[in-house]
């Protein structure tokens, strides 16, 4: 059995698992200052209830106006009342556009049978208390108090030593060069072409490839 090195969170508690938050104190591991804390699951459910209630109490129009006021801070009216904030899983701030996309993805879950229930309930057992639509758009929910600096600076900056931010997007896709396989190491002359069968250089006026014998289409 290989020896392992114990890891502590930014506040000094032993880390359990590979989540973005400390399982003991809820500290966000990409915050070197240790002021950003995961929103409690009970707070998340309460903010959902308050947000739904405000839609009816403000006759929808008031809620929409309120939403545009707090969305640049990563909040909706319910989260603003309870004191929660949405941020990216890599520690960057979430603005109005991403709040709209996040909400839209959450609403889209309701198009499937039991979709909204499963989507919202997912945070109850997820290690980072993410709903399914949080996972789709790479967001997490934290307490508003202590995370104001993310809104002000647009992000957390460099993570603590030894901590690697999660990838926000799929790796970049590289495309092969336009030259046929095996032709990159060859220097084609002015009177040469590449064989479509084997990819090697040959005379432009040849009827057959001298390398593989394939007929040259004209």
Tens-place pLDDT, residues 64-96: 999 999 999 999 999 999 999 999 999 999 999
Handedness of CA 72, 109, 133, 117 (dihedral sign): positive
User: Which of 26-35, 141-150, 153-162, 206-215 bottoms out in mean pLDDT, i.e. has the lowest?
Assistant: 206-215
pLDDT digits (tens, 9 = 90+) for 88-145: 999 999 999 999 999 999 999 989 999 999 999 999 999 999 999 999 999 999 999 9
Q: What angle do CA 172, 99, 20 make, to 5 degrees?
A: 60
Task: Locate all alpha helices (DSSP H) within the chain, ordered by sequence.
Answer: 41-57, 61-70, 77-82, 96-109, 115-121, 132-137, 148-153
pTM exceeding the 0.85 threshold for the entire prediction: no
- Is residue 199 left, alpha or beta, with left meaning phi > 0 and alpha meaning psi from -120 to 50? left
Where does residue 23 rank: exposed (0-12), middle (13-18), buried (19+ CB within 10 A)?
middle
Dihedrals phi, psi of 86, to nearest 5 degrees: -95, 130
| Distance from C-alpha of 22 to C-alpha of 110, rounded to nearest angstrom | 31
User: In which band, very low, low, confident or very high, does the pLDDT at 42 lie, cut at 50, 70 and 90?
Assistant: very high
Percent of the chain predicted with pLDDT > 70: 84
Alpha carbons within 13 angstroms on the beta-carbon side of residue 1 total 3
Query: Is residue 109 within 8 Å of residue 132, measured between CB atoms?
Result: yes
Whether the predicted pLDDT of 4 surpasses 70: no
Distances (CA, A) of 153 to 29, 35, 156, 191: 18, 15, 7, 60
> What pLDDT does residue 189 have?
60
User: In which band, very low, low, confident or very high, does the pLDDT at 209 lie, cut at 50, 70 and 90?
Assistant: confident
């Amino acid at each position: 059995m290989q020896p392992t090195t114990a890891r502590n969170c930014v506040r000094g508690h032993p880390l359990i698992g590979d989540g973005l938050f400390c399982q003991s104190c809820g500290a966000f591991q990409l915050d070197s200052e240790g002021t950003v804390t995961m929103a409690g699951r009970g707070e998340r459910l309460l903010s959902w209830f308050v947000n739904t209630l405000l839609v009816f109490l403000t006759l929808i129009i008031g809620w929409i106006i309120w939403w545009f006021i707090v969305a640049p801070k990563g909040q909706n009216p319910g989260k603003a009342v309870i004191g929660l904030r949405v941020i990216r899983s890599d520690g960057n701030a979430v603005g109005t556009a991403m709040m709209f996309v996040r909400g839209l993805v959450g609403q889209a879950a309701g198009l499937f049978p039991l979709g909204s229930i499963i989507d919202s309930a997912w945070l109850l057992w997820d290690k980072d208390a993410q709903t399914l639509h949080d996972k789709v758009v790479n967001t997490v929910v934290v307490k508003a108090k202590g995370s104001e600096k993310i809104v002000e600076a647009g992000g957390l900056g460099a993570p603590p030593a030894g901590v690697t931010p999660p990838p926000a997007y799929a790796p970049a896709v590289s495309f092969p060069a336009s030259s046929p396989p095996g032709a990159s190491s060859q220097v084609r002359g002015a009177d040469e072409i590449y064989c479509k069968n084997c990819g090697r250089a040959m005379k432009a006026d040849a009827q057959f490839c001298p390398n593989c014998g394939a007929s040259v289409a004209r």
